[in-house]
Structure 1
Amino acid sequence: MKHAYKTVACKLVALAGVALTLNGCGTLFGQQGYFRDKSGDYVDEKVAPDLVIPGNLKAVKPVDYMSIPEVTASADVSRDDEVPRADRRIVHDDGSAYQIVTDGNKRVMLAQRGPAEVWTHILRFWEANNISVVAKDPSSGVMETDWVQIGDASQPGLMRRMVGRVIDLENSENSIEKFRLSVRQGILPETSEVILEHARRPVGADVTTPVDWNSENTASGSLQNGLMNEMLVYLVQNRDEQSVSLQARNLDVGDQTSLVRDGNGNPVLKIDQGFARSWQAVEVALNKAGVRVLDRNRSAGLIFISLSEGNSEARDGEESGWFGGLFGGDDEKPVAAESEYRLRVQSLGNATNVTLEKDLNTLPPADMSEAFLERLRSNLS
């Protein structure tokens, strides 16, 4: 009997629980609940009348700022819309690289090789393409080719390829071309910069008249760029050849220096290079000469060094040796005390002057300055 009462009581409790649950769900989710369904609310919304601008205000007409112009099917595309030929940039896996960069309105080839080696390879480039070099000056790093007509059917493969790729055949058949190439020392040691210039004249013109290389020829830009790209490919393909022209070694900075005197008779080391290359060359020369550098201020053009008082000559090779140190120790002279000096590297026009100073208002003796600058000059080559 008691078991029956318990069963009935459990059922009543369960029913009461279900009733409470259903009642709670209706309170939460019903039409009157907290989370009612709003998907049909738009049916009961009322349409408001159009907005009317008051008469005292002026209506502004909307403007279409992103209108698409009409393009007819017969529109002609001009040559100005052609995509220019991209520059080639080729880097060798072992770290030696040739690349072409833009410097203002001209293109420059940068090479991770010394000027002497680049000079030799460029001469071989002209020879391989049957283009004669009529003038070359290794000391200044300048070479000029003979006049050549690239549209001529007798020209080799390179010149014929240039016709169809960079200029019109009609123009090339009526003109002759001449190139001047400059190889100069790069900013860093064992680097080079190559600059190519181009001149054009009509067929039959007087070729004995010297070329004014300072004048710009806007019609030769594509040919000049195309030829430099071909030269870049040739240099990369022949990068494994290590022969260097002994004559081209004169391209070093040392041959572009001279020891002169200023208006007051003070020694000055003149370098016929810009400030950046001269500064780098002086740092390399100081390191080769074994001069201790204390500090640098590139923006002010100052290099602070340490030198022995009254002695700027190198002591390399003057050691007494093992026997001299064993038997001649009593005759050794005391080591001179070192003092701080500074080199002033100053740009002047297209050249750079290097002078030795004790401080801002004091100059060392002229013979000491001259001896040190000569020692520095000998290490620039």
Structure 2
Amino acid sequence: MKRSALSLHATRMAALALALTTLAGCDTLNDWFASDRVNYKGAASAPPLAVPGDLSTTPTEQRYVAPPANLALGGAQPRAVTAAGNSTEGQPNAQDPLGMHIERDGDRRWLVVDGRTPEQLWPQLQEFWQENGFALKTDAPATGIMTTDWAENRANIPDDWFRRTVGKVIDFAYSSGTRDSFRTLVSRAPGDTTDISITHSAMEEMLTGQDKTSSRWEERPRDPALEALFLTKLMQKFGLTEAQSKQLLTDARPAAAPTTLEQSAGASTLDLQESFDRAWLRVGLALDRTNFTVDNRDRAKGIYYVRYADSMQELKKEGLFGKLFYSGNSAKKPGQEFLVNVRSKGDTVTQVAVLNANGQVDNSSDAQRIVTLLHAQLN
């Protein structure tokens, strides 16, 4: 178990408290380790507010009543029933009897939901992340970008004897030393389908100093297995069983196409041997695999607005200490923004380039680096 310097100090205090006080009647945490090894729900729900007996509730006019959270624009669409008996969000067809399937490109996978638009699925995606213990940092249906705040996977904390006693009283003394964040990209796809990808970002707290009394946050690699796990959970949210969702993950359909690097007049571009619709999705996934964050995107113009992501600075601004030490002018300003352009060169070829402020192909060293990174990710 990894503990931060603060957590180690709290644990020592807890040990002293244990020596002075005998704890009795502690329940065992039989359900602490879920079979899927994730538990991001760090805080319990507050009890409902009760109206004092000497006060009466004020009637609420219907116009001030918020609509249900899962009500999409124009009303929620009815679910379809598959031949297997599932009531699913996707619409079954000959190619997809369950109304959805998984596609893959290398170790990246994404969900394709049949017969549903991004607008219809967005409210359920909001519910999905909230039900799994995450707060949303970016919630932009207009651009199809949804990101979570950093959260701790409490299932990574061992269920040892100390935690079963003192940990029940001061659970904050325990930390896994890791934080996770997830980005969801939702794209309208050909044939009345919607593509949904989930990308994992991670940070780890490393103890430093001769006596390991201080710490610093460092980036760690994304976990494709964790991304796949949340895709299976999302499929279950959409109506499949656990077995069905895992089978679709196993049967993921390959969706790769050759990518060539072209150089002309000191500038580099990429040619993808596929249509714009598929190339648009793959470029978005490739950007997520690099240290560049998609701040915005305009599919009509074929432009991703990206910047270099400093995850450590972002994580420092989370929580109590971040608000104290990284607020106001002390926060690092966002990095330079780049325009990644995806445009069709024909029915089966799509070009990818980095543009400058004038809309011309950028031949700067930073632009060349982005193209090189994309080329590596797309091959």
TM-score by length of 1: 0.31
Report which structure shows greater RCO (CA 8 Å, sep ≥6).
2
More helix by share: 1
Name the larger-Rg structure: 1
